[in-house]
Structure 1
């Protein structure tokens, strides 16, 4: 679909006003509308100037949503932000604001729910499946082992030593 620059600006401003967006997503949408690189650059500058677009605001919202609603760990959140070309200088301070306790609470909650449905022949197999599940959600190996040990009793070695 080919749009003129003013039409694209109006549409993308409406798109940005509905939810927080990052520059990467906006740029992708504008390029899909077959706009020139100069037009895309001008539109993005204008959106930033008028505060429709902010990578920091997007990162804060993204981190909060993925932690609270999707129950993702630090690793998966960082991976997704990198995929969207958000600079580390933007999201690392936001992640540092979160205490490790928040990630631990989330992981304990999802592991306790998951533990009820895991089918395993041995306790070791159950712990392994739960740790793999936690890693898939983006939590660190150290935190996964710590939480599984808290939940089921600890005979796994501490990974950090």
Structure 2
């Protein structure tokens, strides 16, 4: 679908007014719409100058949403922001700005509920499955260990 520069600008400003978007998403849309590099650059300058797009603001909102609603840990959030081409410095700042309590408030109930649904022969197997589950959600080993309340001897973590 080919759009003029004016049509693209109107669509993108409308989109950005409704929800947070990152610059990479807007660039991808413009590429699909067949806009040239000069047109894209002009539109991006307008969107950034007029605060329609702000990758720092996007990263903060994105991270909090993924933690609270998708129940993701910092590693998975970082990976998702990387996939959206968010600058490493912005990713680092964003994740550093999130309180550890935020992650723990998500991880504790996740592990508690998962524990109820897992059928295993012994506690070791249970904890192994819980660790794998939490790692898959992007949580770190220290966070997981804290949630398991020291149920697992230190040597079983391979540290």
Question: Which ranges in structure 2 are unaligned for 5 or more consecutive residues?
Answer: none
- Size of the aligned set, in residue pairs, is 159
Q: Distance in 1 between matches of 2:7 and 2:91?
A: 32
Q: Does the Cα contact within 8 Å between 1:111 and 1:130 map onto a contact in 2?
A: yes
Match of 1:66 in 2: 66
Match of 1:139 in 2: 139
Q: Distance in 1 between matches of 2:105 and 2:155?
A: 21
Match of 2:125 in 1: 125
Q: CA deviation at 1:160?
A: 8.3
Question: Which ranges in structure 1 are unaligned for 5 or more consecutive residues?
Answer: none
Q: State the TM-score, normalizing by the size of structure 2.
A: 0.92
Q: CA deviation at 1:142?
A: 2.5
Match of 1:40 in 2: 40
Q: Distance in 1 between matches of 2:79 and 2:117?
A: 28
Q: Distance in 1 between matches of 2:97 and 2:157?
A: 25
Q: Does the Cα contact within 8 Å between 1:142 and 1:158 map onto a contact in 2?
A: no
Q: Does the Cα contact within 8 Å between 2:124 and 2:152 map onto a contact in 1?
A: no
Q: State the TM-score, normalizing by the size of structure 1.
A: 0.91
CA offsets 1:70-127 (integer angstroms, 9 cap, x no match): 1110100111111111112213222212222221221111101111111212211111
Q: Distance in 2 between matches of 1:65 and 1:39?
A: 32
CA offsets 1:110-153 (integer angstroms, 9 cap, x no match): 101111111212211111111000000001123223322x2x83
Q: Distance in 2 between matches of 1:99 and 1:12?
A: 33
